Every structure is written in C-alpha cells, then in structure tokens.
Structure 1
Amino acid sequence: MNTQLSLPVQLPDDETFGNFIVGSNALLVAQLMALFDPSVDSPMITYISGESGVGKSHLLYSVCAEADQQGKWISYIDLQQIDLWSIDVLVGLEQCDYICVDNVHALKGHRDWQVALFDLINRVKEIDHARLVITGIAGPGQMELELPDLQSRLAWGVSFVLQRLNDEDCIHMLVKRAGMRGINLPDEVGLYLLNRSKRDTKSLMKALNRLDQLSLQQQRKLTIPFVKQALDF
C-alpha cells in the first residue's frame, strides 16, 4: 500500500474502512469517506481524539488505503517516531492530496516540531489542496503543547472524539478479523477473550495475533479451553 506514500513507511494492509467496526462512530467515518467525494466541500483539517487503543491509527491507515486505491499522493507520519525523522520531512507535504498525522500529542516538549507542523498547516491553507487528518489523545483545546498557535490551527477544521466499542461490537470485530485470517472464532470464545483481556482494540488484536500463531502451530481450533491455555488466563 505504500506506492504513493511520500515517506518510506510500510503501513498495515489489513486495517481499512472495510474492516473498521463503526459502532457509535458513524458520523466520523462518514466524514472521512466524504474526503474522497469531489462534490463535497471538505474541511481542511479533520481532527480525531480518543483514548489510546480505540482505533485512531486504524482510521488513518484506512484513509491511506482508500487514497492509495484512487492513486492519490499520500503522506503518513507517526509523531511518536519523530526521533527517526528530521523536521525537514514536513517540507513540501502541502503538495500531497492527503496528509495523515498520527499522535500529535507526542509533540509535547518538541517546540521545533510544533513550529514545523504549524508552518505546514499554514502552507496547506495557502495552497488549499491537501486535506489533513490528525489524531491525538485529547482535543485541540486540551492539548498540552508549548505553541498555542498550533493548538488554534488544529481547531480550524472539524473535530471528533472516537468512541470506544461496546462489548457486542468488540466481539464482532474479533470474529471479523479472525475470519479475515481464515480462522473460525465462535462468539462465545470472543466473549470469553473479551472478558479476560484488556478491552482496547490494540490489546485485543495482540491477543488475536497470538492465538492465530499458536493455533497454526498446534493445529488447534479456537475453543475456550485452548484460549485459556494459550493466553494463560
């Protein structure tokens, strides 16, 4: 999926709009899908806040996957990894069709990066071509950043809070993601897993990855006794 990416990163190809469990986030998903409709006057910035592990990165990967399918020029950067980059990676990104900025809260204590992102947003506004999708654990007004002007820029567009999935949706997610791997995960096994692990999306997918690996190694079906043994519940 990285043929159109402006940065040399490899994004997961199994996190798309097609397998994102919407739950109570229908308006947010509709807003992101509308970014690809030329008849819609989309805001320059779509800001997504929410707790860690609720699926914010999944939505950014989904935007990238959709843009890639349409042959658009994409930029994705995870600000939790800024130690790997120079601020120069933000130069010229205003020419992209879509710019996905993950974990903007990670810029706390990095004023140079805050200034660089501020300048990028201003360039995007001036050219009026790219669309920014930005995530953080708190809304623009609640960010603890040293550059107030950046916080005000983050609030220029529309802002959503990504809601955590309820139990039924979590089980649906587990069953669906298991099915994508060719694994049959009965609902009762999904419920058992949900009741005994952390309920954030990242932890659940980590548990599913482990079960996938062990079930292949041992040629076992996903039953409650197997899950209990495999994950040491």
Structure 2
Amino acid sequence: MKQLPLDIGLAPSPRLDSWIPGPNAAVLAHVQSVLHDNRPSLRPTYIWGPEGSGKTHLLQGVLQALREQGREAGWLDASTPCGGYARPFDPRWSVVLLDEVDAYGPQQQHTAFNWFIHAMTPQQGEPCWVLSAGRLPVTDLPLREDLRTRLGWGQVFGLQPLAEDDVQRALRQEAQARGLDLSDEVLRYMLSRFSRDLGSLSQLLAMLDDYALETRRAITVPLLKQMMNDS
C-alpha cells in the first residue's frame, strides 16, 4: 500500500469570496454585513449543517477577512487544547469564532462560555460578535445548557445542500486556485463515484493534486483510478 502525503501548503486559504453560497445566499449576506458594519454586533450567530457543508470554510473565511482588515479574532474548535482551564479571552478581539461546537469537550465548553460572556459584556472595550458553527441544530447540541441557549440566542441559519452545478463550480474554483486543469470527464467521475459533500471532495482533490505531482502525470480518470488502487 502506497502512502499519499497531503501537502497542506498547496491548498488555497479559505476565503469568503471562494465560499459558494448556492441556496445559502442569506447566510453569506448576513456574515458580510456584520463584518462591514462599524458597530459591533450584540447578537451572536449560529450556523449548522452536516459535515462538508462549508461551515469551517465560512468561519476561516471570516478569520482571513479580519486579518486583512488588521483585526484580531479568537478561534476555538474541537481540536483546540484547553488543558484543565479556560483559555483566556483577549479584549483586542473583534470577533469570537467557535467551530465544531457539537464536538466540544468539558474544558472547551468552559472556554466557549467564558469567551461568550466576555464578548457580550466585556470588562473593557467594545462588545464583539460571536459566530459559531456545528453539525446539529441548537436544540440538539450536546452542550451544557447555559452555553447551548446562548449560542442560539441570536441569528440561527441552517445550511442547505448545494445543487450539482454549485458543487462543480466549487471544485473548479478550488482546482484553479491550485493551478490544476480539471477536465469535465474527471469532474463527472468524481461526482458519480465519491461522496458529494465539499469537504470530502476537497480532500480527494488535494490527494489527486499530490499524486499527480508525485507521478508527474496529468490529471485524468485513469490516474484517479490508479491513485485509489494504490492507496
């Protein structure tokens, strides 16, 4: 069995302008309006949808947009280590980003609650926006009650699945960002043989990019089949 290394350095950084909204245009419009509003939002936003629906891309796009504006943000996801204490809140943050909240452990929940309280009612500076995301609707989140109810207190959006045209557009856009020529034949094969969620397809595209570089061959359906056999 051949190991396929994934070169993360080749992957394009998630941006808001590369997030394909499809039927979720209202979500993108809301996020952009808050980012461009000079007044901090006093109402949190929670976005939910299945794995691969683009939640992390959206939050990372917000983080990138903030950095380009010279602003700072707090980031917490299910893999962020918290140890036996709550990670401190930084009053310089203008946004708190909480990803994968449905998978938070006790210490991450403690940190998220601490950040939420400081963001909404800061001891110094202005309040800041809390944008969170998870796979489940607010009512089903396996979180401590005081955190769960606060996350759902403001705007709540459920992401709808993308149509096939939107999925194709997203894949082509990511391929172009990687400098890849993705033919219609390869694209149709990927969509007909593999999971259609963008997270899985993006990972497959990254593996294919790496494999094409390793074998010094153009990306074709036979190459994709060979990669899957080797791996």
Matched residue, 1:197: 194
Matched residue, 2:151: 154
Structure with greater contact order relative to length (CA < 8 Å, sep ≥ 6): 2
Unaligned runs of 5+ in 2: 1-8
Matched residue, 1:119: 114
Deviations 1:177-224 (A, max 9, x none): 111111110123111111111222221111111111121222322222
Is the Cα contact below 8 Å between 2:12 and 2:177 reproduced in 1? Answer: no
Identity of aligned residues (%): 28
Is the Cα contact below 8 Å between 1:95 and 1:130 reproduced in 2? Answer: no
Structure 2 distance, partners of 1:33, 1:51, is 22
Equivalent residue for 1:99, pick from 96, 100, 119: 96
Structure 2 distance, partners of 1:202, 1:188, is 21
Is the Cα contact below 8 Å between 1:34 and 1:42 reproduced in 2? Answer: no
Matched residue, 2:165: 168
Equivalent residue letter for 2:63: C
Deviations 1:67-114 (A, max 9, x none): 000000111111x1244545331x223541011111111225x2x543
Say whether 1:59 aligns with 2:54: no
Unaligned runs of 5+ in 1: 1-9
Matched residue, 1:14: 13
TM-score in terms of structure 1 length: 0.84
Matched residue, 2:48: 49
CA drift at 1:148: 1.6
In structure 2, the CA distance between the partners of 1:86 and 1:98, relative to structure 1 (3 Å rule), is farther
CA RMSD of aligned residues (A): 2.3
Matched residue, 1:136: 134
CA drift at 1:13: 5.5
Equivalent residue letter for 1:216: L
Deviations 1:126-151 (A, max 9, x none): 13521111011112222122x22222
